[in-house]
Amino acid sequence: MIATLPGRPVSGRPEGRPGFWLLLAIVLVLAALPVGRLLLQALAGDALAPLLAPASLRAAWHSIESGVLSGLLALVLGGAMALLLGVTDLPQRRPIGILFVLSMLMAPQVTALAFTVMAGPASPLLNALGMAPAAGTPNPLIGRGGVILVLGLHHAPLVTILLLAGLKTVPHELVEAAAMDGAGQRTILARIVLPLLVPQLVAAALLAFVAAFGNFGIPALLGMPAGYLTLPTLIYRELVGNGLGVIDRAALLAVAMLVLVLLPAGGAAVVLARSGTRRSAERALGRFWRLGRWRRPGLALAWAMVALALFLPLGALLASALAPTYGARLTPSSATLTHFAEVLWRQDVTVRAFRNSFLFAGGAALLLALVAVPVGHALDRAPVRARQLLLPLIELPYALPGIVLAIACILLFVRPLPLLGFTIYATPWIILFAYMARFLPVVLKPPLAALAQLERAQEEAAALDGAGPLARLVHVVLPAIWPAVTAGGLLAFLLAFNELTVSALLWTAGTETLGVVLFSLEEAGLVSEASAVALSATAVVALLVVAIDRLGDRLPAGTLPWRF
């Protein structure tokens, strides 16, 4: 769940009545209707027996277990990185921080595939280094341990981002006062910084649990082959195996996931909100810890975490994609680009998946960017109570596990729409709709942050000169916030381009996305081809990150997660 979207406390009637009605319509269509349809379907069931079935209880326990344990791992790794970057004089902190956070932007299924091909006797990387286990040895990352480990690594940067933001709220004056009283670095950290950071630690642990609980890509690639099913993978397997005949059971399980996710997510939001209102720092905490002789070991530890989270997975994928066949020994003479040529030019399904992902992600990002200005403006100018009601609804589809949103969209569109008489089920439009619902808060967050800093005097002057609401939006508001709108659209495209969790249940023949194709190739044993797809998609993401980062200086602080 993203942080609460910013806005200014205003009261009275909403300004810009057309924009406010557009805001209400979008919230109704993209958030309220899908979730409401899901709840209606679940409540219409005859019994709660599906929730008490042994398979459901086992999958629920696996989801909770993997969420809790991986959340603790993410808290340890992400917390250590946050302290290294935030309170010590660690050199090279900017590239370390950027690369560590960017590892989180790799799609979960890409991360899972990378760790799958990195371990085990068939690993081209380990074979090239002469470190592969004996033939016939099971892959150690397939199963419960691998799911927990990779989930923890994947979500550790989320913890780092939250804790670095929390460190900025610690008053540096307290550290200076303690140092003047003779307190050492360890005492200051243990008795001042960490106690003040407790709300962010709690919130980070809860959000890491939420992210792991709803994750589909990592448990699907690492857990399903070993029979370690979580709730998302159980729902996926039953719907794929039995079709819409089990939609009632799937809806009930999805609502159970919704409840289990919203409780900790809501708790994290409350903790962060209360900590933010209680404390603010006039001067942000500085890097008071001098590493001294521990500087080199600290630097080595930081780069080792970056290597584990980013470099080793990418290296494993590259070795797998360049190897002549998966499991063959990779040497300079045996390296080949055949698999890249196969997936980028020859295979119709992979070429189509690239095209579809560009179209679906780009279409959703473009449409959302077009409405971001009037909707964001209306939300920024809305009365406090209206905003307090609308913000959670806007964030809800993004906070939900993707599998839950997919089932909600299926239920909403499986029958012809009332009055309209048609349906978008089993068409590309349902994927586009789901992407728009899921990534609306991502697109809105940068413009809302920019609008919160925009002086109203400019709009008031334009209104006095006779400019109407539309003219003020186009000639006053848009020029001031267009970098934020562009960044929001690019961020949404970045997240949607490799998306799997939603499209896994919504795609049909001809509408395959990159996430779906990668998952299918891995399941079919075409690991080298899957690695080539994963690397190609990751290259697109890297280019997008560079493009978004170029806008960073023109965006409000905190908009880009890798800038701190």
CATH code of the domain containing 162: 1.10.3720.10
CA-wise closest residue to 298 among 562, 85, 79? 85
The Cα angle at residue 505 between residues 504 and 511, in degrees rounded to 5: 70
HEC sequence for 307-376: HHHHHHHHHHHHHHHHCCCCCCCCCCCCCCCHHHHHHHHHCHHHHHHHHHHHHHHHHHHHHHHHHHHHHH
Are residues 379 and 517 both part of a single domain? yes
Q: Which residues pair with 88 in a beta bridge?
A: 289
**Residue span of the structural domain in which 239 resides:** 47-281+295-327
Contact 481, 454 (CB under 8 A): yes
What is the per-residue pLDDT for 281? 52
Same domain, 352 and 244: no
Joined tokens for residue 540: 């697109």
Identify the burial level of 179 via C-beta atoms within 10 angstroms of its C-beta, where 0-12 means exposed, 13-18 middle and 19 or more buried: middle
Q: Coil, helix or strand for 171?
A: strand
- Please tell me what DSSP assigns to residue 177: H
Domain annotation covers residue 134: yes
Report if residue 25 sits inside a domain.
no
Model-level pTM? 0.89
CB 112 within 8 A of CB 218: yes
Cβ partners under 8 Å of residue 561, min gap 6: 101, 104, 157, 161
Count of CA atoms in the C-beta half-sphere (13 A) of 110? 29
**At which of 327, 350, 381 does a domain end?**
327
Q: Which amino acid is at 246?
A: V
Picking from 66, 61, 63, 82, the residue whose alpha carbon sits closest to that of residue 204 is: 82
Residues 499, 515 contacting (CB under 8 angstroms): yes
Q: Which two tokens stand for residue 459?
A: 């709009």
Q: Quick one: 312 and 347 in the same domain? A: no
149 and 275 in a single domain? The answer is: yes
What is the amino acid identity at position 265? A
Q: Are residues 314 and 353 in the same domain?
A: no
Which token pair is 78? 């992400």
- Say if CB 141 and CB 119 are below 8 A apart: yes
Render each residue's pLDDT in the chain as its tens digit; 564 residues.
444 444 444 444 445 466 788 888 999 999 999 999 888 888 776 667 777 889 999 999 999 999 999 999 999 999 999 999 988 999 998 899 889 988 988 899 999 999 998 887 878 877 777 777 777 788 889 999 999 999 999 999 999 998 998 888 888 888 888 888 888 888 888 888 888 888 889 989 999 999 999 999 999 999 999 999 999 999 999 888 887 778 888 888 888 888 888 888 887 777 777 765 455 556 677 788 888 889 999 999 999 999 999 999 999 899 899 988 877 777 788 889 999 999 999 899 999 999 999 999 999 999 999 999 899 888 888 888 888 888 888 988 998 888 999 999 999 998 888 877 888 998 999 999 999 999 999 999 889 888 888 777 777 777 777 777 778 887 788 888 888 899 899 989 999 998 888 998 999 989 999 999 999 998 888 899 999 999 999 999 888 888 888 887 777 776 777 776
CA 382 – CA 238 distance, rounded (Å)? 43
- Looking at the chain, the number of H-run helices and the number of E-run strands are 28, 0
- Residue 450 inside a domain? The answer is yes
Q: Residue 508 and residue 485: Cα distance in Å, rounded?
A: 32
Residue 365 domain-assigned (yes or no): yes
* C-alpha distances out from residue 362 to 319, 367, 368, 376, 518, Å: 30, 9, 10, 20, 19
Shared domain for 364 and 268, answered yes or no, is no
Decide: 29 and 197 in contact? Cβ < 8 Å.
no
Name the residue among 316, 219, 236, 214 with its Cα closest to residue 534: 316
Distance separating alpha carbons of residues 38 and 208, to the nearest angstrom: 25
Question: Do 362 and 263 have their domain in common?
Answer: no
521 within some domain: yes
Indicate if 317 and 451 belong to the same structural domain.
no
**What is the three-class DSSP state of 495?**
helix
pLDDT number for residue 279: 54
State how many domains the chain has.
2
Within-domain flag for 452 = yes
Q: Is residue 32 part of a domain?
A: no
The whole-angstrom separation of Cα 66 and Cα 225 is 16
Which residues, 6+ apart, have CB-to-CB distance to 145 below 8 Å? none
Residue 289: strand, helix, or coil = strand
Is 1 inside any structural domain?
Answer: no
Residue 267 and residue 399 in one domain? no
Residues 385 and 459 in one domain: yes
User: 363 and 220 in one domain?
Assistant: no
CA distances to 152, 176, 283, 289 from 180, rounded to whole Å, are: 39, 6, 17, 15
CB 487 within 8 A of CB 560: yes
In a shared domain, residues 236 and 347: no
The pLDDT of residue 280 is: 53
Q: How far apart are CA 378 and CA 141, in angstroms?
A: 48
